A and B are shown apart, each in its own frame.
Chain A
Amino acid sequence: MNGVLLETRELDKRYGGLHVTRKVSLQLHAGDRLALIGPNGAGKTTLVNQISGTVAPSSGSVWLAGVDVTQRSQAQRVRAGLVRTFQITTLAPHLPVQRQVELALFEREGLTGRAWRSIDGYPELGAEAQALLRHLGLGAHAGWPTERLAYGEQRLVEMALALALRPKVLLLDEPMAGVPQGEGARLLAALDALPGDLAVLIIEHDMDLVFRLARRIVVLAEGAVIADGTPDAIRNDPIVRGAYLGH
């Protein structure tokens, strides 16, 4: 195995006359920290949607650990180890935080088809959920419905759910989006502490975060990749500067 965990091959998407993704080919290896940046409307989230399976591409393919998953549903891709978070927090508002993490664990273990034993009857998973939440600093609020948490903490729960699934590839869609100034520290710490062998693709606008986390940067403009390289190379690339300044 050459260690390519995620690959897109000539991924292309049109909405009627709108060409939103232009033959994008990317590769992600274990341990990668790839930042996907670009001006607004470049098609970053659409690209991630096609990778995660939320949206079907017009042409091209998505490969996970050497397997073509283009025809597979989002749920199937998740079970194969491809997990994403959302730019706008997507949580079940009334479920207690702990229960939501437990749900991720039940899903991971293939237990959501079990309809007889109570959810309290799986103490190991309950303990794992609590440990994960404590690790992210959310232990004090494990019993609260997620809608009662501060927005920054909700973003942390999104991260917790993604991590609970033990992904091989993690797609983070603007994890810091909408997080108020004072609430970002724990989220940043969590991002720093992501497992070493995890392949991470992160969409972000916050350049400080990008240069802090990323070991490789891909720049997307009008649906096409215009640059792909190390942070230093990208910083000095005139084409990239043109793309940003031009808008």
Chain B
Amino acid sequence: MSAATQAARMAPPWRLPLIVLALGLAAWLLLPEQLGLLTRIAVTALFVLSLDLVVGIAGLATLGQAALFGVGAYAAGIFALRLNPDPLMGLAVGTGAGAMLALASGAFLLRYHGFTFLMLTVAVAQIVASLAQKARDWTGGDDGLTGFSMGPLLGRFSFDLEGQTAALYALAVLALGLYIARRVVDSPFGLAVRGIHENRARMAALGTPVIPRLLAMYTLAGALAGTAGALSAQTNAIVGLDSLSFALSAEALVMLVLGGAGRLHGALIGAVVFTLLHHTAASINPYHWLFIIGVALMGVVLMPPQKAWDWLRTRLGAKA
């Protein structure tokens, strides 16, 4: 067995965002017909990234992350409709809305563990969704929030019909969100949260204030989810009740697991693969889609991707 006298050093935090920017730019240049899809992938990736902070890093299984996304979306939409169509201000508003809901609900939710916590996240999300449906005057209710259009980004770049501005905007926000997430996860705070995930009793025995740390991470995740929601509202010019739905939370969880939770890049991989697959399969019978996803999920649990990669590597290594 190899000796390892030092823990592996952290990768520089700008590396992954730069890779994402490079790939995104390449796609933007080479696939001008698919900019809508590219935007959707970027928004989804940011959302799943926010979920990774809660599920993968902090170890809190949640099925209510969509509430934070939807709240950001509605906040940004209402802001653009009633106050100011500037995209960056709207982005800030959406981010703030997600953070505030996460802070408020997290302070309540984090007193519970395991299955109870999971069910309470569902409850909170459903309550928010019901409230949004009821408040038709603000949210448009079942019909959705429409009628707002975004002003030019930074005062210069208007959102064109081909979606060029939107795609670059979404990519840039994703890269920035990724950079922030990377820095936070690799910081002492991030390490402490990972420690809490792996063994809460151990962290309490080290003197860590467990709940405040988890709440801080949950709030950050809420902020990023709100950012993703705001992006979605701004690039689609519509916000529907499905942005608060249980189905969205469940989908994000599936994407995260398929891509691999806990390392941040897994969230991106899951989002990209799942969205692309769903896009191509959209014309096929939706039941076939469920069949594929169902088998994939069962397969991933029975044979986790990490183990599969290891197995593959040892097979190839043995041959060489």
Chains A and B touch each other in the complex, with CB atoms below 8 Å apart: yes
Whether B191 contacts A99 by the Cβ 8 Å rule is yes
**In the complex, chain B residues whose CB is within 8 Å of the CB of A107:** 192, 206-208
**In the complex, chain B residues whose CB is within 8 Å of the CB of A97:** 7
Near A by CB (< 8 A), chain B positions 150-186 give 183-184, 186
User: Counting chain B CB atoms within 10 Å of each CB, which of A74, A161, A165 scores highest?
Assistant: A74
Q: What is the chain B residue whose CB lies nearest that of A75?
A: B207
Given contact pairs A96-B7, A116-B183, A142-B4, A84 touches B199 in the complex (Cβ within 8 A): no
Whether A90 contacts B213 by the Cβ 8 Å rule is no
B190 at the interface (CB under 8 A from A): yes
Whether B201 contacts A86 by the Cβ 8 Å rule is yes
Compute how far the CA of A83 lies from the CA of B109 in the bound complex, rounded to whole angstroms: 29
User: Counting chain B CB atoms within 10 Å of each CB, which of A84, A91, A116 scores highest?
Assistant: A116
B285 at the interface (CB under 8 A from A): no
Whether A95 contacts B188 by the Cβ 8 Å rule is no
Near A by CB (< 8 A), chain B positions 68-92 give none
A233 at the interface (CB under 8 A from B): no
Q: Which of A93, A120, A139, A165 contacts B10 (CB 8 A)?
A: A120
Compute how far the CA of A85 lies from the CA of B208 in the bound complex, rounded to whole angstroms: 15
Chain A, residues 97-110, CB within 8 Å of chain B (1/0): the string is 11110111011100
Compute how far the CA of A86 lies from the CA of B201 in the bound complex, rounded to whole angstroms: 10
B40 at the interface (CB under 8 A from A): no
Whether A75 contacts B4 by the Cβ 8 Å rule is no
Compute how far the CA of A75 lies from the CA of B9 in the bound complex, rounded to whole angstroms: 29
Near A by CB (< 8 A), chain B positions 123-165 give none
Whether A83 contacts B205 by the Cβ 8 Å rule is yes
A117 at the interface (CB under 8 A from B): yes
Whether B205 contacts A142 by the Cβ 8 Å rule is no
Q: What is the chain A residue whose CB lies nearest that of B11?
A: A118
Compute how far the CA of A136 lies from the CA of B313 in the bound complex, rounded to whole angstroms: 35
B189 at the interface (CB under 8 A from A): yes
Compute how far the CA of A56 lies from the CA of B191 in the bound complex, rounded to whole angstroms: 29
Q: What is the chain B residue whose CB lies nearest that of A164?
A: B206
Whether B202 contacts A91 by the Cβ 8 Å rule is yes
Compute how far the CA of A159 lies from the CA of B160 in the bound complex, rounded to whole angstroms: 62
* 17 A-B contact pairs sorted by A residue (CB < 8 Å): A74-B204, A78-B207, A90-B201, A92-B199, A92-B202, A104-B206, A107-B206, A107-B207, A108-B207, A112-B189, A112-B208, A115-B188, A117-B187, A119-B186, A120-B10, A122-B188, A143-B6
- Show the binding face of A for B, using Cβ within 8 Å: 52, 54, 73-76, 78-79, 83-86, 90-100, 102-104, 106-108, 111-120, 122, 130, 139-144, 161, 165
**Interface contacts beyond A116-B183, A161-B202: sample of 11 additional A-B pairs, CB < 8 Å, sorted by A:** A75-B209, A75-B210, A98-B6, A102-B7, A106-B191, A107-B208, A115-B216, A118-B10, A118-B13, A139-B5, A161-B206
